[in-house]
Amino acid sequence: MLKNRNMVLIALVFMVGGAGRDGGVNPIYFAPHLANDFGYSALMIGILMTAINIGGIIGPIFFGWLSDRLSRTGMLQVSLALSCLGSLWVAYIGPGEVVRFTGLLLYSAVTSSRGTQTQTFVADAATDEDRDAAFSLYFLLGFLSQPVWMLVTGYLMDTAGFTTALTWLSTTYIIGIFILYFVHDERKTERQPAA
């Protein structure tokens, strides 16, 4: 599977984008930020973290639906670009609860959509016989980056603060957009049935 160029590139796209890395950065660093920088109560933090969870459900469904109907590569690039903008928005939002809830919901919707979209590339690129191995490799490479992003985010937050940390991490989505220029959408070359 490592010889499959698309597989390796898509795994790299899954690895970048540290600002919205699912399962790590959001639950670990957002709650302390909301408590320490804005003084929100535990109840308000719970409500705002719920926005992240709701976005994490809606985003993958919406972007997956669009990806099935439009260009997979194009939709993933749009998703990554919106993730960059969403991360910047969340980094600079003030303490207003309604605006912050909306911002976190939209941020999570776009950042969480990357995983499901990249998985469609894996399914398209792998043969039926290699599909299990392809997904195993994809998740291995993708999730190897999670501890790295957690450490990088923690270091940046300690040394520069949440806003600066998220601003720096938002630029990682641009790397993903660049990598996608080298990915070939397998659906475009599917063999047509013989006449």
155/24 Cα distance (integer angstroms) = 14
Structure confidence at residue 194 (pLDDT): 43
Q: Please check whether residue 192 lies inside any domain of the structure.
A: no
9/181 Cα distance (integer angstroms) = 10
Whichever domain contains 32, its CATH number is 1.20.1250.20
Judged by phi (left if over 0) then psi (alpha if -120 to 50, else beta), residue 70 lies in beta
Per-residue pLDDT of the chain (195 residues; tens, 9 = 90+): 556 677 777 777 777 766 555 555 666 778 888 888 888 899 999 999 899 889 889 988 998 888 888 888 888 889 889 988 988 898 888 778 899 899 899 988 888 888 788 778 777 777 777 778 778 877 777 777 777 878 888 888 888 888 888 888 888 888 888 888 887 666 654 444 444
The domain in which residue 11 lies consists of: 5-184
Structure confidence at residue 25 (pLDDT): 66
Q: Please check whether residue 112 lies inside any domain of the structure.
A: yes
Q: Please check whether residue 81 lies inside any domain of the structure.
A: yes
Q: Please check whether residue 35 lies inside any domain of the structure.
A: yes
Q: Please check whether residue 193 lies inside any domain of the structure.
A: no
User: What is the model's pTM?
Assistant: 0.82
Burial 151-179 (b: 16+ CB within 10 A, else e): ebbeebbeeeebbebbbbbbebbebbbeb
Q: Please check whether residue 61 lies inside any domain of the structure.
A: yes
Q: Please check whether residue 138 lies inside any domain of the structure.
A: yes
Domain count of the chain? 1
In angstroms, the Cα distances linking 121 to 103, 114, 116, 117, 135 are 29, 11, 9, 7, 10
Q: Please check whether residue 190 lies inside any domain of the structure.
A: no
Handedness of CA 15, 13, 173, 103 (dihedral sign): negative
Structure confidence at residue 7 (pLDDT): 72
In angstroms, the Cα distances linking 34 to 39, 65, 104 are 7, 32, 12
